[in-house]
Structure 1
């Protein structure tokens, strides 16, 4: 019996250590920023800066037109920077809407480090409110890709944009954790980023595009989000498409073109 107790003690200690490690290093697991030097020059667009209430500068890259019909705010995934966002949004540059890309803290040329979900939401709201004052909320289209869907859905629930587009969204980061680490308690997550809850109370129509061969975020999660508000969520299945391919799929451009023409 002693060996059983010892085994249980070892398993218990290992479990606690795993939880502690996941809690302490979750930012490194969730966020994969690509920092750019301060003197890096983008080949396209106009670079500007927004300063957060705690003094951190956020890098914003924009493409503006003389007489735009509105603005698109793009919230990128957990990897890369505005440099990658430029490629992902290349079809949205020469349109009748101004395009805005911004890097989260620690990404690209933005300063600081991500330390809480509230901070992520506050920074996204700062950028959104800046655009709202210039264009009016009715003229703003939100686009979130992968991790960025968490911020996009939050803005859809707490503001009043014209439309919100989610590309390859997850139900929540908690649900993603539970795909592999179901035994780890949910409360250790500082970043639940619950798309289901946000879209359930969204203040605008929502379009979801999700690949049927997404090996990272199951298509079933997109269906779960739609079920949270079936009266205002349109789910588009992208055939033979994986996670990275969703944002590059031709249908994404077609959806955006339709929204911009309304």
Structure 2
């Protein structure tokens, strides 16, 4: 019987170490920033720097046109930066609305590092507020892809934009954790990023595009988001698209452009 007790003790210790490690290092697990040199030049658009209350510079790449009455704010996915966002949103550069690409802390040319969900949301709000000072809020479209859908849905729930577009969204990071680490308690997670809950509270229509071949975020999560507010959410399935294919599908660009008209 002693060997059984030793095995149980070993498993309990291993479980405690796993939980403690995930809590302490979850930023490294969840966020995979792609940084750019401080002297990197995009060659297009106009760079803007916004500063957080604690002095961290946030890099925004803007494409402004004379007479534009509205703006598209794009929040990119993980392992991304404004350099990758350029390729993903090239079909929106010449839209009637101005286009703004935003790098989170530690991504691209933005400084600092992500340390809390509240900070992540607050930074997104700073960028949104800078647009609200320039454009009528009913002419602001918020677009999020993958990781960025958590912040985009937060902005939709706490402001009044014209529309919110979510490409390849997750129901929550908690739900994503439970796909692989269901044995780890939810309270350990510092970044629940509850997209489903945000959509349920959204102050604008929401359009969800999701690939039915998505190998990272199950299509069922898009359906769950739709169920959170059936009357407010338009779900557009992309039958042949995987996770990365959603943002490159022509229907993504067509959908955003349709919302401007």
When the two structures are superposed, what TM-score results if normalisation uses the length of structure 2? 0.99
Gaps of 5+ in 2: none
Give the match's secondary structure for 1:80. coil
Could you tell which deviates more after superposition, 172-181 or 24-33? 24-33
Q: Give the aligned partner of residue 208 of structure 2.
A: 208
Distance between the aligned counterparts of 2:49 and 2:64, measured in 1? 15
Q: Which residue of 1 aligns with 2:40?
A: 40
Q: What SS does structure 2 have at the residue aligned with 1:141?
A: strand
Give the Cα separation in 2 of the matches to 1:113 and 1:86: 22
Q: Distance in 2 between matches of 1:221 and 1:172?
A: 9
Q: CA deviation at 1:182?
A: 0.4
Tell me, in whole angstroms, the C-alpha distance in 1 between the residues paired with 2:68 and 2:217. 35
Which residue of 2 is the match for residue 157 of structure 1? 157
Q: Distance in 2 between matches of 1:254 and 1:81?
A: 23
- Deviation digits for residues 100-155 of structure 1, max 9, x if unmatched? 00100000110000000000000000000110110021110000000000000000
The offset of 1:78, in angstroms, is: 1.3
Alpha-carbon distance, 1:69 to partner: 2.9
How many Å apart are 1:72 and its aligned residue?
Answer: 0.2
Please provide the CA RMSD for this pair: 0.6
1:23-71, Cα deviation, whole Å (9 max, x unpaired): 1111111111111111111111100100000100000100000011310
Give, in angstroms, the shift of residue 12 of structure 1. 0.2
Equivalent residue, structure 1, for 2:68: 68
Once the two structures are superposed, residues 179-229 of structure 1 have per-residue CA deviations (whole angstroms, 9 ceiling, x without a partner) of 010010001111000011100010000000000000000000000001000
Residue 79 of structure 1: how far off its partner (Å): 1.1
TM-score with structure 1 length normalisation?
0.99
Q: CA deviation at 1:167?
A: 0.2
For 1:135 and 1:167, the matched residues in 2 are separated by 24
Query: 4+ residue stretches of structure 1 with deviation over 3 A?
Result: none
Name 1:228's counterpart in structure 2. 228
